[in-house]
Amino acid sequence: MTLRVHNTITGEKELFKPIHPGKVGIYLCGPTVYRPAHIGHAVGPVIFDVIKRYLTFKGFDVTWIVNVTDVEDKLIAEAERCGRSVSELAKELEQSYVDCMRALGVRSIDRMPRASEHIDTIIEHIEKLIERDAAYEVDGNVYFDVTRDADYGKLSNRKPEEQFEGTRDGLVKSAKRSPGDFALWKAAKPHEPDDVKFDSPWGSGRPGWHIECSAMAMKYLGETFDIHGGGLDLKFPHHENEIAQAESATGKPFARFWLHNGLTRFNTKKISKSDPDFEKMMDSLQLSSLLKKHNPELLRFLILQSQYRSPIDFSSDTLASAEKGLKTFYRLLERLARVTDTDPYDMVLQLEAKRGEALNDECRKLMNDVLDQRVRFLEAMDDDFNTAGAIAVLFEVAGVINRFLDALRLETHPDEPSRSMAQAAGGSFVFLARLLGLMVQPPKQQDHDGRTPELLDLFVEVRKMAREAKQFQLADHIRDRLAENGVVLEDRKDGTGWRIE
């Protein structure tokens, strides 16, 4: 089976082949940390977490970078409005973003570089552009000269002049040679706080937003890398400018594949700043409060129920129907736990091993059906990471297993070969669901502040250290106190685990 990926730059689904055999580099535009993240900010990370899981499953060694824009006009304005320092506000919002991602099960990001910590890299990149005559300085500002880039606009098929004035770059028209030129470096203004003023060959100032991404992507993934992602709204001018900056500096192609995820709609309305209800909408869609209110896996499930290029409808109706769907999966695993007397979250892939066994008709049918569905699941994922199609297959697998349990009345009349087949089929279901980052842990154990699993793992680790140091009293104390708080430590095949009662 071969993976095909829709590439925005060609407008076609292309065969995916990495630049370096066996390795894949991914860059996803991350948050500008000036306001709390909303549900729309979860879409890209959840999808790319699945993309990384799937590519890893296919045997690739994947490096995934998500930047943090902590130097930017809107952040400066917001810090001033709240009477706080830029760095303090940025750090707080970055932490909140990271906590939300963890709660959503997005744990595979390899590095989150901050713009403020890469000023030297950014300056070097701008110097290269000036050397190559692709950029020029005016009064401490440096602009990219779009007339020097013959193929500008190849991603979005738009003209540089379409970059409107007074947007995130706050460009001063008169200082630019042509209206489509955009800022790479912005001279510091006297009233601006010190923590956004950096020394440069052009005087004190700060980088533009676009150059932060080009410079950091190339630093961590090389001049040419495999996949660049982001929301559809970033295609122009942000991604177009990233390409222009990178390719004008190196003379080489920047990202091989461009993947753009669809935007979130709230009650079927596009989330737009021009909407009179925008602020109200933002408050109700704030990610940290949604994660307190809902099972985080539900939000992840809702996002993955759409193919990533389609818009995602977020409303009480879509949430309710996603919840119903997800419950089908939970119920299946509860049934399997009762029938097989095994923790379904510990079930492993073993269906293939059943092929050689003598099986009765029902068992053979279940095995064949699940193996067929597994092929369909992988075909859906190979078709431009079609998670919607993959989830539809999961429902079918759940249906097949449920029908098997019903037909043989296994909950009341257990028999060994059928139990073992149910367990093997359950293992396949869990394996496939986990390629989407679903069914990783029982819903009860999902934390709502994003930290509980790590803290409990830490207790387990400290207890192990105490035992190794023969401090059994301390080890027992940790176990007993956790038990008093409803956390049971269990000795499992792979060491000690925990379960919330």
CA distances from 474 to 290, 452, 456, 464, 471 (A): 38, 21, 16, 10, 6
Kindly indicate which of the ranges 205-213, 219-227, 329-337, 474-482 contains the residues binding Zn ion, using the contact rule CB under 5 A: 205-213
Q: Which two tokens stand for residue 143?
A: 């602009």
Minimum distance from CB of 69 to Zn ion (Å)?
A: 8
Minimum distance from CB of 125 to Zn ion (Å)?
A: 14
Please count the CA atoms within 13 angstroms of the CA of 374 that sit on its side-chain side.
Answer: 21
Q: Is 46 in the site for Zn ion (CB under 5 A)?
A: no
| Helix pair angle (387-407, 316-340), 10° resolution | 40
Residue with tokens 């409803």: 486
Kindly indicate which of the ranges 27-35, 161-169, 321-329, 446-454 contains the residues binding Zn ion, using the contact rule CB under 5 A: 27-35
Residue nearer to Zn ion on the CB measure, 29 or 187:
29
**Bridge partners for 61 per DSSP:** 23
CA distances from 24 to 21, 255, 259 (A): 8, 11, 14
Minimum distance from CB of 238 to Zn ion (Å)?
A: 6
Residue nearer to Zn ion on the CB measure, 213 or 393:
213
Instruction: Give the 3-state secondary structure of 38-71.
Output: ECHHHHHHHHHHHHHHHHHHCCCEEEEEECEECC
What are the residues whose beta carbons fall under 8 Å from the beta carbon of 46, sequence distance 6 or more?
A: 104, 105, 106, 300, 303, 304, 437
Residue nearer to Zn ion on the CB measure, 155 or 487:
155
CA angle 255, 142, 139 (to 5 degrees): 175
What are the residues whose beta carbons fall under 8 Å from the beta carbon of 250, sequence distance 6 or more?
A: 218, 223, 224
Q: Which two tokens stand for residue 240?
A: 């177009």
Residue nearer to Zn ion on the CB measure, 50 or 217:
217
Residue nearer to Zn ion on the CB measure, 213 or 215:
213
Residue with tokens 């104390």: 477
Residue nearer to Zn ion on the CB measure, 196 or 213:
213
Cis preceding linkage at 237, omega within 30? yes
Helices (H), 308-349: 316-340
Q: Is 370 in the site for Zn ion (CB under 5 A)?
A: no
Helices (H), 305-315: none
Kindly indicate which of the ranges 6-14, 28-36, 363-371, 382-390 contains the residues binding Zn ion, using the contact rule CB under 5 A: 28-36
Minimum distance from CB of 406 to Zn ion (Å)?
A: 51
Kindly indicate which of the ranges 26-34, 117-125, 302-310, 487-495 contains the residues binding Zn ion, using the contact rule CB under 5 A: 26-34
CA distance 8 to 5: 10
Contact mark string toward Zn ion, 226..245, x via CB under 5 A: --------------------
Interface residue with Zn ion among 5, 29, 33, 282 (CB under 5 A) is 29
Residue nearer to Zn ion on the CB measure, 29 or 424:
29
Kindly indicate which of the ranges 24-32, 113-121, 303-311, 384-392 contains the residues binding Zn ion, using the contact rule CB under 5 A: 24-32
- How does strand 61-66 pair with strand 141-144? unpaired
Kindly indicate which of the ranges 29-37, 70-78, 276-284, 304-312 contains the residues binding Zn ion, using the contact rule CB under 5 A: 29-37
Q: Is 438 in the site for Zn ion (CB under 5 A)?
A: no
Minimum distance from CB of 218 to Zn ion (Å)?
A: 12
Q: Is 42 in the site for Zn ion (CB under 5 A)?
A: no
Residue nearer to Zn ion on the CB measure, 208 or 344:
208
Torsion of the alpha carbons at 22, 245, 198 and 116, rounded to the nearest 10: -30
Minimum distance from CB of 65 to Zn ion (Å)?
A: 11
Cβ(94)–Cβ(67) below 8 Å: no
Minimum distance from CB of 48 to Zn ion (Å)?
A: 13
Residue nearer to Zn ion on the CB measure, 234 or 339:
234
Q: Is 183 in the site for Zn ion (CB under 5 A)?
A: no
How many residues touch Zn ion under the rule CB under 5 A: the total is 2
Residue nearer to Zn ion on the CB measure, 213 or 380:
213
Kindly indicate which of the ranges 37-45, 110-118, 208-216, 381-389 contains the residues binding Zn ion, using the contact rule CB under 5 A: 208-216
Minimum distance from CB of 349 to Zn ion (Å)?
A: 37
CA distance 496 to 457: 9
Interface residue with Zn ion among 103, 123, 126, 213 (CB under 5 A) is 213
Phi, psi angles (nearest 5°) of residue 261: -90, 150
Cβ(134)–Cβ(248) below 8 Å: yes
Residue nearer to Zn ion on the CB measure, 72 or 99:
72
Kindly indicate which of the ranges 23-31, 358-366, 370-378, 491-499 contains the residues binding Zn ion, using the contact rule CB under 5 A: 23-31
Write out the residues near Zn ion by the rule CB under 5 A: 29, 213
